[in-house]
Amino acid sequence: MEYSVHELAITGENPPAKYIYTDSINPSQDPSIPLPLLEIPVIDFNRITTPSVGTGAELERLRSALSSYGCVMVTNHGVESSLMDRVRLVFKQFLALPMEQRLKCQKEADGFEGFGSDMILTKDVAAAVRHFSCRLRLTTWPEDKRQMKYWPEQPHDFREVLDEYSSKLLVLHDATLRAMARSLSLDDDSTFLNAVREGGSISARFNFYPPCPTPDRALGLKPHSDGTVITYLLQDGEVEGLQVLKDEQWFRVPNVPDALVLHVGDHLEIMSNGEFKSPVHRVVLNPERQRMSVVIASFPEEGRQIEPLEGLVSGERPRLYRQVKYSIVDQVGYYWSGTRVTDDARI
């Protein structure tokens, strides 16, 4: 059933065979071989948005970080840590509800919103089974696209907390995309933002990863890059699990409770003509402890044509990607088949 991953966590059973790789795919989870910690660049959000003497230098740090790492740790982002704690708390409270309560928000088999495991759209069973997690996904922007039937009524302040968090993240999202455009000296700093504002959407994804007694044989999320414009990740605060691939080596992303992790999405990589890189990342499981994360991600309008911006294509910087049409079904397909839209679009 859709909610079985979460039920397993409650009963403390091992993941069933279908979630387990037959061979050890993640020997680095052996505690005797710890992975290195990623020296993820830290960006002071205030300094990239408040015009001052330091802005140019900080924008250049942002550009350089997004072109080599594709992800940064954002501090001074204006979201109070008490609000971040409340977001984590309401999700934990939701998970602790009796099953009948959670089922009220259950995703339909062919839908994208609500609580459950992701839809499996591939016939390749071997590719489909490789992750052990479940999530609650809700569109938060624009408000008229919210499907309130999937928004939990319990805990009683869930909706209020998500509404407050998503409005703070909307401000951050827009300012970030403008700063990214300015860091590439684009004439119009709303160019990236328009890919979301013109018919696109933003959604929240509350991810839950149960403890897993064999963490070398299963993954919370398999290696992927985000099929988004950008993604903002709120980490667990206590339990680490996110890893990023850089120069063909996996690194652990440090768990800084008050910071937000920003990822470039595949569609921004294409629009930026490869100036920004969409990082490949995965989630590993912890043998004893459960973990959660909350993602706010932005998407283009379904059917929108995505291509490199003219201003970023020149004699010295030839066009790297052909035009691709954004499709959520294709994105899910990429995840399950372990491929990426950026590879498909590459000229």
Nearer to Ni ion, 118 or 226 (CB): 226
Question: Which one of ligand OGA, Ni ion, none interacts with residue 116, CB within 5 to 8 A by kind?
Answer: none
Q: What angle do CA 113, 114, 115 make, to 5 degrees?
A: 135
Q: Shortest Cβ distance from residue 282 to Ni ion (Å)?
A: 8
Alpha-carbon Rg for the chain in angstroms? 19
Question: Which one of Ni ion, ligand OGA, none interacts with residue 260, CB within 5 to 8 A by kind?
Answer: none
* 8 Å CB contact between 65 and 43: yes
Nearer to Ni ion, 226 or 269 (CB): 226
Report the half-sphere exposure of 278 (CA within 13 A, side-chain side): 22
Question: Which one of Ni ion, ligand OGA, none interacts with residue 216, CB within 5 to 8 A by kind?
Answer: none
Nearer to ligand OGA, 179 or 242 (CB): 242
Question: Which one of Ni ion, ligand OGA, none interacts with residue 242, CB within 5 to 8 A by kind?
Answer: ligand OGA
Distances (CA, A) of 185 to 61, 180, 240: 14, 9, 36
Nearer to Ni ion, 115 or 232 (CB): 232
> Would you call 55 exposed, middle or buried from its count of C-beta atoms within 10 A (0-12, 13-18, 19+)?
middle
> How far is the C-alpha of 291 from the C-alpha of 235, rounded, in Å?
9
Among 113, 216, 226, 269, binds Ni ion (CB under 5 A): 226
Question: Which one of ligand OGA, Ni ion, none interacts with residue 207, CB within 5 to 8 A by kind?
Answer: ligand OGA
Q: Shortest Cβ distance from residue 226 to Ni ion (Å)?
A: 4
Nearer to Ni ion, 226 or 266 (CB): 226
Q: Shortest Cβ distance from residue 232 to Ni ion (Å)?
A: 11
Dihedral (Cα; 247, 277, 134, 210), 10-degree rounding: 30
Question: Which one of ligand OGA, Ni ion, none interacts with residue 271, CB within 5 to 8 A by kind?
Answer: none
Question: Which one of ligand OGA, Ni ion, none interacts with residue 283, CB within 5 to 8 A by kind?
Answer: ligand OGA
List of residues contacting ligand OGA (CB under 6 A)? 205, 207, 221, 226, 233, 241-242, 281, 283, 293, 295
Taking CB under 5 A as the binding criterion, the range among 25-33, 154-162, 172-180, 219-227 that sits at the site for Ni ion is 219-227
Q: Shortest Cβ distance from residue 334 to Ni ion (Å)?
A: 12
Nearer to ligand OGA, 173 or 281 (CB): 281
> How far is the C-alpha of 118 from the C-alpha of 136, rounded, in Å?
10
Nearer to ligand OGA, 233 or 264 (CB): 233
Question: Which one of ligand OGA, Ni ion, none interacts with residue 205, CB within 5 to 8 A by kind?
Answer: ligand OGA
Q: Shortest Cβ distance from residue 66 to Ni ion (Å)?
A: 16
Residues near Ni ion (CB under 5 A), total:
1
Q: Shortest Cβ distance from residue 263 to ligand OGA (Å)?
A: 7
Pick the closest to residue 106 from 135, 68, 67 (CA basis). Answer: 135
Outline where the chain has alpha helix (H): 4-11, 45-49, 55-68, 81-95, 99-103, 125-128, 158-183, 191-197, 266-271, 328-337, 341-345
> How far is the C-alpha of 303 from the C-alpha of 263, rounded, in Å?
23
> How far is the C-alpha of 131 from the C-alpha of 134, rounded, in Å?
9
Q: Shortest Cβ distance from residue 257 to Ni ion (Å)?
A: 19
> How far is the C-alpha of 209 from the C-alpha of 83, rounded, in Å?
22
Position with the least CB separation from ligand OGA: 293
> How far is the C-alpha of 87 from the C-alpha of 108, rounded, in Å?
24
For 112, list phi and psi in degrees, rounded to 5: -115, -20
- For Ni ion, the binding residues (CB under 5 A) are 226
